[in-house]
Amino acid sequence: MSSRNLMRVSHLTKYFGDTPVLNDVSLEVAAGEVKGIIGPSGAGKSTLIRCLNGLEPIDSGRIWLEDTELTAARANLDRLRSRIGFVFQDFNLFTHLSVADNIRLGLRRVRRLGRDEADHIVHRELARVGLESKWQQYPAELSGGQQQRVSIARALAMEPELMLFDEPTSALDPESVGGVLRVMRSLVAEGMTMIIVSHEMAFIEAVANDVLFMAEGRVVEEGSAEQIFQHPQQRRTRQFIDGIAAALIGEASEEGGGA
């Protein structure tokens, strides 16, 4: 992993009314790094990741993508966003467009590619997420997991330098989760720089180089996956990790009891 910083966030603060949802959040993402963001609901994880590509306005703080400041008054946000892939919890595929056209739109209208080149990329990216045969289908004809994989292909087609995932498996039924995580794992293997907000703790523990634990709008603890999941330093982190473990054990024993 190179130590070059691809994204830098310093002292980010955001309020909803009088309530701070992000309170002095700073982080750095090196090229090739996979950063996991975990924490309880309402911790500000999704708000944070949506600020990182300018989908949410911020109240103070600064964000850089390499040397370009996203938060500068004159920042060309459209251009910056095209360099950052974003995957939504509820996919947000364009409902009026076929799978191929969903991917083609950005290629044609943002990257300004010709038809042939765009089509080539459409099929390449669909193959990458294992859905090459679905190019003519419409989003409503696909399962949730398939829609999410198309949305990943749509983001990848822009050839982003950084991929942001906002709880990409939270809206999926359990059997669809695996397919999406497999695609994400292959991106990790390719060396893609990724920031992942997720409740899939086992996945985060397995793929993240670095994990941020957030609660009440603050970064409570940041460290290696091993530190956060096995040896959390902060009491709040320990509570959260132990709570999940307890819930999992509870679920397992319930299932055991029922069988």
Partner 1 sequence: MNDWLAFAWPHLPALLKGTGYTLIIWVVAMLFGSLAGTGLAVTRVYGATPWRRLATGYIELIRGTPLLVQMFIVYQGLPQVGIVLSPLTAAITAIGLNTAAYQAEYFRAGIRAVRPGQMQAARAIGLSRRRAIRHVVLPQAWRIALPQWANEVVIELKYTSVAFAISVPELMGQAQMIGADTFRYFEIFLVAAVIYVVLVGLVTLLLDVVERRYALRH
Residues in touch with partner 1 (CB under 8 A):
53, 55, 78-79, 81-86, 88, 90, 92-96, 105-106, 109-110, 138-141, 151, 154-155, 158
Nearest CA among 153, 145, 7 for reference residue 66: 7
**Torsion angle (degrees, nearest 10) of CA 181, 183, 185, 187:** -140
CB-based contacts of 219-222 (< 8 A; 24+ apart in sequence): 219/25, 219/26, 219/27, 220/39, 222/27
Residue 93 Cβ vs partner 1, minimum distance, rounded to whole Å: 7
Please identify, using beta-carbon distances, which residue of 13 and 92 lies nearer to partner 1. Answer: 92
Return d(Cα 39, Cα 198) in angstroms, integer.
9
Please identify, using beta-carbon distances, which residue of 97 and 244 lies nearer to partner 1. Answer: 97
Return d(Cα 92, Cα 148) in angstroms, integer.
9
Residue 140 Cβ vs partner 1, minimum distance, rounded to whole Å: 4
Cα-flanking dihedrals φ and ψ of residue 58, to 5°?
Answer: -115, 165
Residue 99 Cβ vs partner 1, minimum distance, rounded to whole Å: 12
Residue 108 Cβ vs partner 1, minimum distance, rounded to whole Å: 9
Please identify, using beta-carbon distances, which residue of 106 and 145 lies nearer to partner 1. Answer: 106
Please identify, using beta-carbon distances, which residue of 180 and 219 lies nearer to partner 1. Answer: 180
Please identify, using beta-carbon distances, which residue of 119 and 216 lies nearer to partner 1. Answer: 119
Please identify, using beta-carbon distances, which residue of 112 and 259 lies nearer to partner 1. Answer: 112
Cα-flanking dihedrals φ and ψ of residue 36, to 5°?
Answer: -100, 140
Residue 144 Cβ vs partner 1, minimum distance, rounded to whole Å: 14
Q: What is the DSSP secondary-structure string of 126-180? A: HHHTT-GGGTTS-GGGS-HHHHHHHHHHHHHHT--SEEEEESTTTTS-HHHHHHH
Residue 121 Cβ vs partner 1, minimum distance, rounded to whole Å: 13
